[in-house]
Structure 1
Amino acid sequence: MVQSRLPSAGHWYHTHFHIYTDGSRLTNPPSVGAAIYIPSRSLATAWQLPATASITRAELFAIKDGLQFATTLAAPCSIALFSDSLSALQIVKSHRPHSHHNVSLIIHHLIFHLISLGHTIHLQWVPFYVGVMGNTVVDRAAAQAHTHPSLIDLATDQTDFLTDLKTACRRHWDTTMTDALQHTSLGHIRQDTRHHWWTYSPNQALDTAVTRLRIGLNAHLHRLGMTNSPHCPWCSTQPDTPEHLLLHCPRHHSHRVALLHSLCYLPTQTNND
């Protein structure tokens, strides 16, 4: 059973066997650690994982090893396993997890095995900011795992592999596109592959209008050989730029007046100091 709320002062589980788990990840240099803490045994164990592992993979690894430790208990009892990773617990809770399938399957098998041995299992989320002593201890243990001299042998998780692959492809595409844009007319409105605000609009007409405005419709069509002049269609000597269209073109003077008039009715705050 997975609980999403923290029991007040731990009273819900005061008769349970407690296991605390945690994962830790550093970015510079890349390093991943995981740890479990057993308060009744005064035992803390930590592992350094391959740097390619994600923080969710580290949290799931710690949960797995916490349950693995529970299989060594001599007599059946009620077990409370605490984790500060709600996302990891949600993956464990799901019957069809969207990621980290291999380690999730192992965790499910461990839970079923413990239940078959007569244990009762409770997986409890503990927010890192509430200051639970056991969570603080395991957090320190996971942080110390970064200093371990050797890594454990851990197969690359498919989810982490796909994430790394997407990151590498995005980085390569970003570099390639950035270099290519420097030699095109679009380089002044787009420098990389990051999403711009208008790309999230569900309104396709708005997307089209904003894109045309930014690239200069007539100027862009001229570069494609579809028009005879790159200038404004209504001002034959003026360049077709967003600034000209929005601020200066006499064709749209009435629209600008209407816009300024409507803006007068918007609530504004005046600084009289």
Structure 2
Amino acid sequence: MWLYTAVIRPIIAYGAVVWWPRTKLTTARNKLQRFQRLASIATTGCMRTTPSEALEVLLGLPPLDLFIQQEAASAAVRLKSLNLWGASNGAHTMILRNAIEYQPLMMAPNDRVPKVYIFNRKYNIQLVEEENDWSRIHELRIYTDGSKTKTGSGAGVYSPEINTHISTALGEYSSIYQCECFAIIQAANAVAKRRITNQEIRIVSDSAAVLRALDSKTIQSGLILECHRALEVIGSNNLVTLQWIKGHSGSLGNDAADELARKGSDQKATGPIPMLPLPFGQLRSWMRQKTRTQHAEQWANTSTCRHSREVVPHPDARLTKRLLTLNRASLRIIVGNITGHCPLNKHLHVIGKTDSPLCRGCLSAEETVAHVILECEGVNTQRAQILKTTRSLREACGDTRRILRFWAELGWLDP
């Protein structure tokens, strides 16, 4: 699964922004599905008759044509943000219009900028925590923090030494990463506004991610670039150090900045929405959500996979996560239970591998997954001991540990 999603699928989707219209053709979609089916079967070890649609839902793989359209939309939005999207009216340009129709904020400014190389800085980055959190002689210490809650996001800056208590509301679309970065920008601007020179200034933040981005030789975030430039301004006349501190470690300064940031996240932002350029990750998240919605609609409207849809009525990321923690032998059994395509007499009879579809436990009904797990009197003892009071096939398949133990006790699905 990792090999397919991390290596093979990206190769297939290469240049999708140009050729994605081909995925609208039925012949192309069928070929793409057959290709993804190979990876699904290799991952699960399932029977060759298992429906592709069911395997995609269980493994969390959207149909390959939808994934290619998602990647094409991502590329189009990225090129648009970098002013590299031309004005042509070819069929492939519709992907950007479709993305904007789905989420109009795709047209809002985003944080991606052309790559900038930074080799010399007028400030220092210290990613090792200090033993003692207090100001040294002739040192100004400024604490910064960001916050994101269900109500919004905010940034806080605290420094009693320069009499700074800043709380800023940043709206619902700013990420915690952006809030942390914006707080450092505000701290640098506060120093510049007071015209402080020839001082040791230590800006303390609990965001190691932002500090590493500032310490990198390349910058592709507009907000990180703005932060770098603000630090360069105060670094030309002061000895500036950005210090990492562990969050919620008992630091009075960090706790005060955190309180100011939370206060900002609880307030309603005033100004244009979004307050900050949208993180490119948010745009990709919207496009993935669109793909998930389309996949769920296709699954709900399919005329096949009745057994699978009864157990898994909609794609379930938590179920997929549990399945992918199993070894291949166990995964094969669970997939067989959910899809009904497993070596029980009913299915073996359908594909011509056995003469009778009758259950080997009771000889009175067809041997299906539902019959054995829920009804068969011949396995009452095993059912009562292991599955307890299982009321539905969906409930039984949701407890992978018990269902695997049940089939191991019977030995009916052993290879």
TM-score by length of 2: 0.49
Shift of 1:12: 6.9
2:156 match: 35
1:144 match: 263
Write the mapping of 1:61-80 to structure 2, written as runs, cut at 5 A.
Answer: 61-72=182-193, 73-80=195-202
Shift of 1:257: 8.3
Letter in 2 for 1:63: I
Q: Say which SS state the counterpart of residue 243 (structure 2) adopts.
A: strand
Write the mapping of 1:1-273 to structure 2, written as runs, cut at 5 A.
Answer: 1-11=124-134, 13-27=136-150, 30-72=151-193, 73-96=195-218, 101-115=221-235, 117-145=236-264, 146-148=266-268, 150-151=270-271, 153-170=275-292, 172-173=293-294, 175-176=296-297, 179-180=300-301, 184-191=306-313, 192-194=315-317, 195-201=320-326, 204=328, 206-218=330-342, 226-227=351-352, 231=357, 237-241=365-369, 244=372, 248=379, 256=409
The 1:13–1:226 alpha-carbon spacing in structure 2 relative to 1, beyond 3 Å, is farther
Letter in 2 for 1:211: V
Check conservation: 2:171, 2:269, Cα contact below 8 A: no
Stretches of structure 1 that go unaligned for 5 or more consecutive residues are: 249-254, 259-273
Measured in 2, the distance between the counterparts of 1:243 and 1:96 equals 61
Check conservation: 1:181, 1:187, Cα contact below 8 A: no
Shift of 1:22: 1.2
Shift of 1:80: 0.8
Measured in 1, the distance between the counterparts of 2:295 and 2:174 equals 24
Check conservation: 1:32, 1:50, Cα contact below 8 A: yes
Measured in 2, the distance between the counterparts of 1:53 and 1:212 equals 44
Partner deviation per Cα, 1:163-200 (whole Å, 9 max, x = no partner):
34434543x24752674489822123324331241224
Measured in 2, the distance between the counterparts of 1:207 and 1:62 equals 47
Measured in 2, the distance between the counterparts of 1:87 and 1:166 equals 24
Stretches of structure 2 that go unaligned for 5 or more consecutive residues are: 1-123, 380-407
Check conservation: 2:157, 2:166, Cα contact below 8 A: yes
Percent of residue pairs identical: 16
Letter in 2 for 1:89: L
Shift of 1:81: 0.8
1:269 match: none
Partner deviation per Cα, 1:30-55 (whole Å, 9 max, x = no partner):
31111212221222122211211111
Q: Once superposed, which parts of structure 1, at least 4 consecutive aligned residues long, lie more than 6 Å away?
A: 232-236
Measured in 2, the distance between the counterparts of 1:212 and 1:205 equals 11
Shift of 1:14: 4.9
Partner deviation per Cα, 1:123-154 (whole Å, 9 max, x = no partner):
22223322222222222222222325624643
Q: Say which SS state the counterpart of residue 9 (structure 1) adopts.
A: coil
Measured in 2, the distance between the counterparts of 1:136 and 1:160 equals 28
Measured in 1, the distance between the counterparts of 2:138 and 2:196 equals 16
Moved more, 104-113 or 228-237: 228-237
Check conservation: 2:144, 2:254, Cα contact below 8 A: yes
Shift of 1:228: 8.7
Letter in 1 for 2:341: L
Partner deviation per Cα, 1:79-108 (whole Å, 9 max, x = no partner):
2111123333333333346xx722122223
Measured in 2, the distance between the counterparts of 1:234 and 1:221 equals 11
TM-score by length of 1: 0.70
Q: Say which SS state the counterpart of residue 152 (structure 2) adopts.
A: strand
Q: Say which SS state the counterpart of residue 258 (structure 2) adopts.
A: helix
